[in-house]
Structures are given as C-alpha cells and as structure tokens.
C-alpha cells in the first residue's frame, strides 16, 4: 500500500533519503531536535531517514502519512518503541504508554467515562474555585506592579487545578513537592530519550536524580490512593470515580498499581501541557495586541461583566481559536514514535517490519500545503468557516486515532475558563521585549521564563 503526499507520485526507491553519519545525527538530534528535523525536512522532503545509536529512524512530516500510521493502519504501528519503553520507566503502564491490545482496550473502557461531559462539568467547579483564588492573588500582585514569571505561575495554577479537580488534593506542600519532582524527571528523561546510550539502571548522576524524583512522585500518588481507600466517599473528583468503576465485560475494578499509573499520567499531563499552552497563549497575546483586544471584546459581549462559567465555553469562539492556534504552533505532543509490525509502503518508500517511525507534530502543523504562512500567529484560521475547509489530518494537538488523548475536553475547559477570567480583568504586556523559542522536552515549553505585567482593566 502506498500513501502519497507532497512528495508526489510513488517512487521506486526502497529507502527514504537522509544523512549518512550516525554520530552527527545523534549529536544534532540530542542538541536541538526541532531544528535538526526541520533542516532534514528542507533537504530531503516529507519522508526521510536518519540513524541513532539504537536504530534507523524513518521521519514522516506529511499529514496524510501520519494519518496512515495513526488511523488507517494503526494496527500495524504499535507503540512498541524504545521511546515508549523508556516512558514506561516514568509513567508505568497507563493509557499513555501501553502499546495496545486487550490491556489497553480494558484501561480505555475504564478511564474514558471519567472524562465524559457530565463528569468534566462536575470537576469544573473545582477548576473555577482554584482559578478564582489565583486571579485574586494576581490582582494583588498587579496592583503592586509585580512582574510575573509566566510559566512558573501557570505550572503552579494548573497543578493546583488538576490536583483539586482530579484527586481533591489541595495540600500545598504535597502539591509543591510533586511539582518539583516532576520537573526534574521531565528534564532527565527527555535528555535520556534523545541519547539513550547508558541504561537507566546504571547509577549515573543523572539517573540517580531521575529515580529519586520518581520515588517522591510515587509517594504522593500512594498517599491519595490510600486516603481514598481509607475514606471511600465520592468527593466529586476523578479518583473517586476511577476506584468505583467496573469493567462492563469482566466486572473488575482497577488495581492500586493500575490506579497509580493512570494517576501519574493525569497529574503530569494534566498540568504540564496546559501550563505550557497557557504560557504560550499569553506570550502571543502580549506580542499581538490586536488579537488580545479582539478576545476581550468577545468576553465583554458574551460575559457582560461577570466571571465565566462552564456554560460560557461554547460561546467563546474566538477565544478558543486563540488556544487552537497556539496549540498549532506549540503542540505539546510534539513528537510521536511508532514501530512497524509488518512491511508497508509510505510516500513511495518501502517501510520494513521493525522500522522505528518518528513524526514531529511541530512540523506537521507547519506543512505549507495545508497552512498559509505557517509561522504566523493567525487565530482566525480556526473560525468555524475556515476550519471546515481544512483537511482534518493537518491538525492533531491531542494526537489522533485510537490513542487520542482522553483528557482533551478537561484541558480545553480549564484553559478557556482561565483565559476568559484573566483577560476579563487584565491587559497582558511583556515586561521585557523578548523573543522566546520552544524547548523540546517531554512537552514543548519555553526555553526561558517569559516575564509579563498584568495591567488591571478599568
């Protein structure tokens, strides 16, 4: 089967083109993966290959090629790569790391209902409480002329939201301890995944930091599970539901180990990704005052001077467009890895069984065949009439196919409520005229802090 994209008609060549030197590729990919992959795409096109110490990698950039892997032939491309095996060292066997098969389907059946609209609606009250407290604190800081470190503030906020909404955890010291440990694990694991020469079992200084942080994270998760076991009431959070949910086919509930793995992913992904997106949103709005004013005009029209509620989210069309365009430019799932179970053909090139497949959503979201001025910040691309004309495979901020992120509606609701509450109260300006590039770790955060001022609106 051949999947064609912007590379044109299927070719007879058996191996995708790419650089020869494994050492140079390894160093460049470790040092700056976004720049390195971008340079390869410019040189070799939408299907290419390069070598790492562990294997030869085939890189896909065309949305139709990625759709082929994630949707059309998903069964032939399991999540059974070295990258996923390494991620399981961090997250365990949760939905984000299980390759597939019966175990994955069972976990999906157990977790999916927890993120249905009705449950997100119940958790939105927790979101609004934390957001309200944070906005009051920011109001005090703004009145004193304080400069805010955007990513630090957003990480604190989103972790509090997730800890409260998903697990009724609002003990500041425990939440802070978890955040510090996750930050350290993120850094160490990201560096290792790009240069996995020394196994994690070897006690290098970096690996010791990783395992020490993992133990601290596990302690917090064990605490919330033990607390719920000791007092099994429905607190209106996700954990209460997960512990009561039974598999429709087997009648079984999740074990403590399964709960631990799912909670870990949700705590990490639920705050890390949203914090980064919100950081990039404020950075872009501060640099594009016209867009910021348009959002505020929509908020004034739809909210009429009051704070947003869950029911308002569907009305905030342009505000949602700003979030979507930000996730296009800075996708948090910026990299994807798959392996090839059986021989296949993509873009005219033979893909043998056992090949590691890599795709960068960051570059998929910039494909010039699908996006005019792909580097420009233009939220109007996502207005309903524009989005309806676009190939849906060109935009995948939460993944695609069977492994689409189950928490996407939770994350979007959290971001909309925070952004609406913030911009209703403040104008956002940069405290320094800085240009900030993304830093590709497990997620895609800023390479440096982004200092902003919040100016109270009259």
Distances (CA, A) of 445 to 117, 279, 327, 442: 28, 8, 11, 9
Distances (CA, A) of 69 to 281, 356, 359, 360: 30, 12, 10, 13
H or E segment and range at residue 57: strand 56-60
Strand partners, 49: 58
Contact (Cβ atoms closer than 8 angstroms) between residue 221 and residue 267: yes
Please count the CA atoms within 13 angstroms of the CA of 448 that sit on its side-chain side: 8
What are the start-end ranges of the E strands in 56-166? 56-60, 148-149
How many angstroms separate the first and last alpha carbons of the chain? 61
* Torsion 77-359-404-261 (CA) sign: positive
Distance CA 73, CA 401 (A): 10
Contact (Cβ atoms closer than 8 angstroms) between residue 260 and residue 92: yes
Contact (Cβ atoms closer than 8 angstroms) between residue 319 and residue 420: yes
Q: What share of the chain is helix, strand, coil (3-state, %, to 5)?
A: 55, 10, 30
Structure tokens at 330: 């800075």
Tell which residue, 46, 40, 37, 43, has the closest CA to residue 3.
46
Distance CA 437, CA 302 (A): 34
Distance CA 293, CA 301 (A): 12
Number of helices (H) and strands (E), helices first, in the chain?
16, 11
Binding residues: 405
Distance CA 36, CA 30 (A): 9
DSSP code for 95: T
Binding residues for heme: 405
What is the separation of C-alpha 247 from the centre of its chain, rounded to a whole number of angstroms? 27
């Amino acid at each position: 089967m051949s999947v064609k994209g912007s590379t044109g008609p299927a070719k007879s060549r058996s191996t995708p083109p790419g650089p020869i030197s494994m050492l140079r590729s390894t160093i460049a990919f470790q040092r700056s993966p976004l720049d390195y992959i971008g340079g390869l795409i410019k040189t070799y096109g939408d299907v290419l290959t390069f070598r790492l110490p562990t294997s030869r990698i085939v890189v896909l950039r065309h949305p139709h090629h990625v759709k082929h892997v994630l949707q059309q032939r998903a069964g032939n491309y399991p999540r059974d790569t070295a990258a996923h095996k390494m991620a399981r060292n961090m997250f365990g066997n949760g939905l984000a790391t299980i390759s597939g098969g019966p175990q994955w389907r069972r976990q999906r059946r157990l977790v999916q209902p927890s993120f249905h609209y009705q449950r997100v609606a119940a958790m939105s009250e927790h979101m609004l409480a934390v957001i309200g407290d944070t906005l009051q604190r920011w109001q005090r800081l703004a009145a004193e002329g304080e400069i805010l470190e955007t990513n630090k503030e957003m990480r604190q906020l989103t972790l509090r939201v997730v800890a409260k909404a998903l697990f009724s955890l609002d003990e500041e010291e425990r939440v802070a301890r978890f955040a510090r440990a996750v930050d350290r694990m993120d850094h160490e694991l990201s560096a290792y995944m790009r240069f996995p020469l020394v196994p994690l079992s070897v006690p290098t200084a970096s690996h010791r930091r990783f395992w020490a942080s993992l133990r601290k994270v596990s302690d917090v998760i064990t605490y919330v599970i033990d607390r719920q076991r000791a007092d099994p009431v429905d607190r209106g959070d996700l954990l209460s539901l997960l512990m009561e949910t039974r598999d429709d086919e087997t009648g079984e509930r999740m074990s403590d180990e399964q709960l631990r793995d799912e909670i870990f992913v949700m705590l990490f992904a639920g705050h890390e990704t949203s914090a980064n997106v919100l950081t990039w949103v404020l950075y872009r709005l501060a640099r594009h005052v016209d867009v910021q004013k348009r959002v505020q005009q929509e908020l004034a029209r739809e909210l009429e001077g009051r704070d947003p509620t869950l029911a308002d989210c569907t009305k905030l069309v342009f505000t949602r467009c700003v979030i979507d365009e930000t996730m296009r430019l800075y996708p948090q799932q910026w990299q994807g890895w798959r392996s090839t179970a059986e021989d296949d053909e993509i873009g005219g090139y033979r893909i043998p069984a056992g090949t590691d497949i890599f795709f960068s959503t960051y570059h998929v979201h910039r494909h010039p065949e699908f996006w005019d001025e792909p580097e420009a910040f233009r939220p109007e691309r996502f207005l309903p009439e524009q989005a309806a004309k676009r190939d849906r495979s060109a935009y995948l901020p939460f993944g695609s196919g069977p492994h689409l992120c189950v928490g996407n509606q939770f994350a979007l609701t959290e971001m909309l409520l925070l952004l609406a509450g913030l911009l209703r109260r403040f104008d956002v300006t940069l405290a320094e005229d800085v240009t900030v590039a993304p830093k590709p770790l497990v997620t895609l955060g800023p390479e440096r802090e982004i200092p902003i001022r919040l100016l109270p609106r009259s």
